[in-house]
Amino acid sequence: MVIFITAKFKVKPEHADEWPHLVADFTRATQGEEGCLWFEWSRSLSDPEEYVLVEAFQDDHAAVAHVQSLHFKAAQRSVPPLLVETPRIVNFKVPQDDWFLLGEMAVPEEGTGS
């Protein structure tokens, strides 16, 4: 079972364009953690002041270690002043350890003509 988390961050307008830079150290440190499967930011297409974080950890131990890390504790101090509101989160355990293919939108293999 993988710990799968998606969180939405509503960033103050004056920080929206620089958000990836502002969280770059936190992002790199988290991506380097043992047990972090992915930790990726995306900017909303409908709201340029909203960023979505998709992250996954291999197990409870890795997720707990993440929340107890020095870089997470530093982010707890540095990130909230940049936000309009408290981030919203969805957190589940899922029975997979990687992304599955979206069969309904499969890309035909080259040369198959399908």
Query: Apex CA 17: angle with CA 29 and CA 73, to 5°?
Result: 30
Record the pTM. Answer: 0.89
Give tens-digit pLDDT for 4-46: 999 999 999 999 999 999 999 999 999 999 999 999 999 999 9
What type of residue is 56?
A
What is the dotted CATH code of the domain comprising 2-95? 3.30.70.100
Q: What are the φ and ψ backbone dihedral angles of 13, each rounded to 5 degrees?
A: -50, -40
Question: CB–CB of 65/35 below 8 Å?
Answer: yes
Name the residue with tokens 């790199």.
28
Closest CA to 84 of 48, 45, 46: 48
Domain segments of the chain: what residues?
2-95
Rounded to an integer, what distance in angstroms lies between the CA atom of residue 38 and that of residue 18?
A: 21
